[in-house]
Structure 1
Amino acid sequence: DQLLQGLREIGAGVCAWQGIAHAFNGSSQQAQRLVEAGLKLGFGGAFTYERALQLRRLAAELPLEALVLETDSPDMPPHWLYATAAARAGGLPQGRNSPQQLPRIGAALAALRVIAPEAMAQASTRNAVAALPRLGQLLGPLLGRPYTARPSPDGANPP
């Protein structure tokens, strides 16, 4: 709510904002207001826990155009990396998140949304570039072609 108030104070109603609400963990109303202000919502390891009911519901129901995958590496491990207190007491180290987990996090989000993991990855990349346009400039040389947030007519633009 403080972020939304700050955006209102500096004129979010006047222009479209670009950016990502990192590690989003708010209410449906907050999500709606952030998306209306022009922000994307970052989803990472937190939604992978079965007990994160509200976050899982939001991840499944929000418009696909609002979501960006993230790891928040090395923090916020997904459930498959989390070591319980008992396991840690037994010598198992706490798992650490890393960018290597992104495909699996994306697959978990795709499963919640009942879409293909590739579709989730493509949407997340498009959304990240829409939120952070300079990211497209960085991706272009890696892909060997310009990268924009808009899919090409044949739907082939970006992975």
Structure 2
Amino acid sequence: MLIDSHCHLDRLKAAPDQPTLELILANAKARGVDYMLCVNVRQQGFESMRDKVAGFEQVFLSSGVHPLDVKEGLDVEQIRRFAMEPKVVAIGETGLDYFYADETKSLQQQCFEQQIALAVEVNKPLIVHTRDAREDTINMLKTGQAEKVGGVLHCFTENWEMAKAAIDLGFYISVSGIVTFKNAGELRTVIRKVPKERLLVETDSPYLAPIPHRGQENQPAYVRDVAEFVAELRGERYEDLAQYTSENFFNLFKDAARLIGR
């Protein structure tokens, strides 16, 4: 078993020359990817995302708003209502991104604080996006007592000090296809250090396709390429990494485990 812990199935291209979602998920299954978490990023995008994947039992959901999509703030009640739906296993993706939107720093912080509080309230883990905001991200997680529910720093690209601080809070580190890129030397050093009980793998599809699929639209099947690369990087067997990252996924996203009777 292998799990894509973070993807955006609703953002895959819908065009005559593109494979259907059914085929995309069948391709994932053929490569041993049994489950995936489809992550919400826009306030008004949840319902269309949910409806698009409604027929696929192997797809779990999250409810939240990305820091680059906060716009004029949050409707927290709506996020809470979506979070109560049966297949929603997490709050997010939320967090801070000062690289692309430093000018909205204050609003991002306000919305991150609200979503941390909501996660603690509804007892669901957080999916956190962070870029160029290391100190503020960790400090806000601590202040909001996010360790009560845990979570994951997804598509991790920061340094070991931040990874260690997150792990100390009970968070997981998720690695994407970026780790396969030629300029990812520092990230590879970090991923070698992450304890196996705190590691997840993801695609973040349709973005960031790993080598050898660079330039293509990413899809959950390609998490196999990420996992194989990471296993070799860490000097581990692929089968072992697939097993323990899947166990980690269900240890973190306990509602997903309950949904499949684990």
TM-score normalized by the length of structure 2:
0.47
- Taking the aligned partners of 1:138 and 1:11, their CA distance within structure 2 comes to 26
Maintained 8 Å contact 2:173/2:194:
no
Q: Let me know the Cα RMSD of the aligned residues.
A: 1.4
Structure 2 segments unaligned to the other structure (5+ residues): 1-133
User: Per-residue deviation at 1:102?
Assistant: 1.4
Residue 144 of structure 2 aligns with an amino acid whose one-letter code is I
Aligned to 1:7: 141
Residues 31 and 41 in structure 1, CA contact (< 8 A), matched pair in contact too: yes
Alpha-carbon distance, 1:80 to partner: 1.4
C-alpha contact (below 8 Å) 1:17/1:37 kept by paired residues: no
For 1:45, the aligned partner's letter is G
TM normalised by structure 1 equals: 0.75
Give the aligned partner of residue 255 of structure 2: 134
1:47-83 CA-to-partner distances (Å, cap 9, x unmatched) read: 011320011111112111111010101101112122x
Moved runs in structure 1, 4+ residues, more than 3 A? none
Instruction: Select which of 18, 34, 47 maps to 2:179.
Output: 47
Tell me how far apart the structure 1 counterparts of residues 176 and 260 of structure 2 sit (CA, whole Å): 21
**Alignment check: 8 A CA contact 1:18 1:130 kept:** no
Unaligned segments of structure 1, at least 5 residues: 83-93, 141-146, 148-159
Please show how residues 3-152 of structure 1 align to structure 2 within 5 Å.
3-12=137-146, 15-82=147-214, 94-140=215-261, 147=262
Structure with the bigger percentage of strand: 2
Contact 2:209/2:222, CA 8 A, preserved across alignment: no
Report % sequence identity. 25
The one-letter code matched in structure 1 to 2:137 is L
Deviations along 1:99-130, whole A, 9 cap, x unmatched?
11112211111000111111001111111112
Q: Structure 1 residues 139, 43: CA separation in 2 closer, same or farther (over 3 Å shift)? A: farther
Higher relative contact order (CA 8 A, sep 6+): 2
Give, in whole Å, the separation in 2 of the partners of 1:138 and 1:125. 15
